[in-house]
Amino acid sequence: METINISPGVRLTVINELKFKTACLSMNVLTPLRKETAAMCAVLPYVLRRGTASKPDMQAIEAYLDDNYGARLEAFVRKRGETQICGFYSDFADEAFVGSDTMLLEKMAELMGEMLLSPATFGGRLRPEYVETERENLLADIRASLNDKRGYANLSLIQNMFKKEAYGVPKLGRELEAKKISVATLTRYYRELIAASPIEVIYVGAASARRVESAVKSALSTKMPVFGASMPQTEVFDGSIRKPKIIREELPLKQAKLSIGYRIGKSAIENNQPALTIMNSIFGGAVTSKLFREVREKRGLCYYASSTVDRMKGAMFVSCGIDTEKYDEAMDAIASQLSAMQEGDITDEELENAKSFVVGAMYSVEDSLPARESVTLNFLLQGLDIKPSEFGGLCDLVTKEEVVRCAQSVQLDTVFFLAGKGSAK
């Protein structure tokens, strides 16, 4: 792994892997997550993906990608802690299989650079027809969060739990702000974003760091340097006691969805990321976890029950699907598993199982191109300067005491219960 400063504000990370048949390149524009700008940041890469100065429409871009051995280039928006990230991800054939004169890396870097810096315009602004259709698509996407009830419950939990914090802003922004997007506001936002934001470029593949560096330099040569650009920061919970909020909503569902949010203390976030990972894995992150065994297997309360942890924000989330009338029973079962962990009721076996799970998962990350790219970005944002397998190695050293200390800083914050009602039962 090599990290190279391309220009002030643009950093490239190159990971050399010879075993994949494809390579990938991503350009990530980082900006603080804000309610006012989130929808614009979410729509922007999709507008830019529609056409560039030299390839002004979808058909031109698709034909170009087809010609380059079916390379793919996708727009994305991501959320990591309180950082919103928009940009592009491309994967393309490794030159060992299509010939080294194809220059796929250079071509994809250049196309991405064009999308970021020289979009198709009309009268000096982003093209109105692109802005309008993509705004409608974004609105449809935001509204469609209702279609997947588990996702909807999790999203509602986060919006309620972090009402006063940037973390509560959804990745796609909110309908209210999305509706207001116009050619003028989006063009202005675009120029400000590109002028002020740091960019992380990630490459995973067989090409040498020097070659990637020169391809990226050339692709972003017209970008003005951003002096003093700093990584957006995520505010972490201070550890003060709050009274848990409980929110209940009803929909005609056959299966109710229970989403629970916990805060994790600042010191655990800052000092012991591996212990957090292992704690989550013991609690609900793996099939050997307490939630899976107790709530699902032993008590048959639900089909799924799992937990995830956001190590940047300092939060843990439980998600499960239950019968509406089993609410109290499920809440009790989950709470008792958490207190068991806080009281040190963790067997050696549970600890070892959690470790093997995490270590195995981290090794597997290095065997998958998209997972490697995504985890590399996470680590860069967390300031972790190691490989996934090395992080796995650190997790393997975590002691029971560290896990218990971590668990003791966990406190219930908000419950979102999407109950089933009436007709569908």
Can you give the binding site for other proteins, defined by CB under 8 A?
18-22, 57-59, 62-63, 65-67, 69-72, 91, 93, 96-97, 129, 132-133, 136-137, 140-141, 143-149, 251-255, 286-288, 293, 296-297, 300, 302-304, 321-323, 349, 352-353, 356-357, 359-361, 363-364, 366-369, 424
Residue 39 or 369 with smaller CB distance to other proteins: 369
Least distance between other proteins and beta carbon 332 (Å)? 18
| Beta strands across the sheet bearing 72-80 | 2-7, 10-16, 199-205, 22-32, 83-93, 72-80
Smallest gap from residue 349 Cβ to other proteins (A): 8
Phi then psi dihedrals of residue 104, to 5 deg? -60, -40
| Nearest in space to 331 (alpha carbons), one of 242, 243, 414 | 414
Pair of tokens at residue 120: 């198709």
Tell me whether residue 32 or residue 128 sits nearer to other proteins (CB atom). Answer: 128
For residues 279 and 48, is the Cβ–Cβ distance under 8 A? no
| Minimal distance, residue 175 CB to other proteins, in Å | 10
Question: CB of 343: closest distance to other proteins in angstroms?
Answer: 23
Instruction: Compute the least distance from the CB of residue 312 to other proteins, in Å.
Output: 24
Cβ 4 to other proteins shortest distance, Å: 25
Q: Phi-psi region for residue 123, left (φ > 0), alpha (ψ -120 to 50) or beta?
A: left
Contact 328, 249 (CB under 8 A): no
59 or 208: CB nearest other proteins: 59
Provide, rounded to whole angstroms, the least separation between the CB of residue 211 and other proteins: 20
- Residue 79 or 149: the one with the smaller Cβ distance to other proteins is 149
Q: How far is the CB of 137 from other proteins (least distance, A)?
A: 4
Q: Work out whether strand 410-420 and strand 125-126 pair parallel, antiparallel, or are unpaired.
A: unpaired
d(CA 295, CA 301): 6
Question: Quick check: 203 and 88 in contact, CB under 8 A?
Answer: no
Distance of closest approach, residue 197 Cβ to other proteins, in angstroms: 25
Based on CB atoms, which residue is closest to other proteins, 120 or 412?
120
Residue 131 Cα distances to 150, 187, 325, angstroms: 30, 9, 46
